[in-house]
Structure 1
Amino acid sequence: MTISCLPASVVARPPRHRAPRLSCDCHFHVFGDSVAYPFSVPRDYTPPGASLEAWQEMAGILGLERMVIVQPSVYGTDNRCTLDALQAVGVERGRAVVVLGDGVSDADLERLNAAGVRGVRFNLVNAGGLTPDRVAAVARRVAPLGWHLQFYVDGTQLPELAPTIAKMPTPVVIDHMGQIRSSSPTYRKELNAMLTLMSNGKTWVKLCGYRASTESYSYCVTKSHLQKSDTWYY
């Protein structure tokens, strides 16, 4: 059983200040036609379509010129949708983060590298992601290419995972601020684990406020709700 996702907003408002030149959207997914790019089974959610063209329209409004397309869990290790989108924009503007299957060869890695892939994602939250036992083996494979490992985790997983992440021979990127929530009973341990990782000089964290919010979609449900909110998220 999967959950459905809210569709994208039909209106993208110009920001008060456009992004600086060469600004980069460091994390978004492309969801293509479900016949050409079937979703994996099992999966935790079923997203609506989210085309590259729709992203480009939104990026033009915001002033974003570069991008990192990230493989979502709903495609498992089938990276075709992500790679096709990357090919469409070109390596002058884009890069990609993929999920690797067990059978990937050195030649496959070289082809992915030439196509603009620069990282491997470990999704430890949703079905369809790579499992923690594969982290070290994948890191050894991609380190010579200069790639990074990207982790999507829940904050409660960080204290246990942090020592493993710290030993990686690659740079590491943590998605969505590690989903550390102030309401968590282990909040302090989670935060300390993240800060320790960030102090090692090779760990980066993607800022993403809504993933750590304790209120579901308080920033975008309805216009009336927005008018009552003290904080607006863009």
Structure 2
Amino acid sequence: MPIDAWDSHMHVTDPEYPLASDAAYVPSLHNLTDVRNFEQTIGIQNTVFIQPSIYGDDNSCLLDALRAAGTSHGRGVVAINPDMLNITELQEWHKLGVRGVRLNLKSNDATYTANSLSNMLQKYADAIRGFKWVLELYIGMEAMPVLEKIVPNLGVRVSIAHFGAPTLPDPKNTTYPLDPYKITGFPSLVNLTLAGATWVKFSAPYRFDNDTQFRGVESIARELLKVAGDRCIFASDWPHTRYEGLDIKPFVEAVLDWTDEANLTKEVFSLNAKELWDIDQRRDSQDPLKCD
């Protein structure tokens, strides 16, 4: 693992914090101490906390963890209602290390048209542009042709979670390696990364790839590393909500193998994340992670 690597997508959860009315599950306790213990198993001490959907727009759990972690080792991506903004509050969050907002359209199978998606993303972009925050999207790869038309007009950087959540063929009826350009939406994802404002997270293959050797996402990862290696970042998706107990180490090792072969390990695990999340390259990486 490269020195000063970042895990760009993980969650803190605690049953003591109130759930949103439409929460899909009740979380177990995964606080900052648990984060530290997990990250040590994969050799990482820097974390980007992503707001889990179960808390809706109440970011209290995430912000408390971010306060304890400190800006040397932590960044945050919150959920907001762009129609009900408190600029003073956003300014305080920025000081804590918040550098993005999340829009989760995949977990709840949200429906939208090209126009409604464009209007929605424009509202979020307008809300965060002045802070130079990232717009974090969890959305299916089938939507990438639409995003390809929308993103250039947003004026913000975009992060696509979980390889773009592709629809992959059943491994029982598939010959590998896959041609990623035959996966619906992938050519548009490539075009988005090449345009310069879109990053893709190598994360959570278990949410859509049924092949235990990751051969479905491997074809996507290798091609993205080939054509846009400066726009790829690693993330663990810990604690693998609704997949609790999963061993993420084989996937981490696979990503290390792919990036080593592409000579891009430091970029994917460290440098690209630092650029995306506005991390000071000169900071002292030996400063110990503080826990709650």
2:24 aligned to which of 39, 44, 52:
44
Give the Cα separation in 2 of the matches to 1:49 and 1:162.
38
Amino acid at match of 2:35: W
- Local SS of the residue matching 1:42: coil
Judge conservation of contact 1:41–1:128 (CA < 8 Å) in 2: no
| TM-score, length of structure 2 as denominator length | 0.63
1:153 aligned to which of 123, 139, 161:
139
Percent of residue pairs bearing the same amino acid type? 29
Q: CA deviation at 1:104?
A: 1.8
Alignment of 1:88-127 (within 5 A): 88-101=68-81, 102-127=83-108
- Give structure 1 regions of 4+ aligned residues with deviation exceeding 4 angstroms: 215-218
- The aligned counterpart of 2:278 is none
Give the Cα separation in 2 of the matches to 1:169 and 1:83.
26
Give a deviation string over 1:63-95, Cα, whole Å, max 9, x none.
212110000111000000000000011111101
- The aligned counterpart of 1:207 is 202
| Structure 2 runs not aligned, ≥5 long | 171-180, 215-242, 253-292
Q: CA deviation at 1:44?
A: 2.8
- Number of residues paired by the alignment? 202
Q: CA deviation at 1:28?
A: 0.1
1:137 aligned to which of 104, 118, 123:
123
Judge conservation of contact 1:43–1:127 (CA < 8 Å) in 2: no
Give the Cα separation in 1 of the matches to 2:13 and 2:26.
10
| TM-score, length of structure 1 as denominator length | 0.77
Give a deviation string over 1:104-131, Cα, whole Å, max 9, x none.
22212211111110001110112499x8
Give a deviation string over 1:164-210, Cα, whole Å, max 9, x none.
233221111000011113329x9533111111111101110000233
Give the Cα separation in 2 of the matches to 1:187 and 1:38.
43
| Structure 1 runs not aligned, ≥5 long | 1-18
1:188 aligned to which of 178, 183, 192:
183
Give the Cα separation in 2 of the matches to 1:110 and 1:127.
29
Cα–Cα, structure 1 residues 61 and 188, in superposed 2: closer, same or farther, change >3 Å? closer
Bigger relative contact order, structure 1 or 2 (CA pairs below 8 A, ≥6 apart): 2
Give a deviation string over 1:23-56, Cα, whole Å, max 9, x none.
1111100011x2x311111133333222221110
Give the Cα separation in 1 of the matches to 2:96 and 2:106.
27
Cα–Cα, structure 1 residues 216 and 124, in superposed 2: closer, same or farther, change >3 Å? farther
Higher helix share: 2
2:4 aligned to which of 19, 22, 29:
22
Judge conservation of contact 1:37–1:80 (CA < 8 Å) in 2: yes
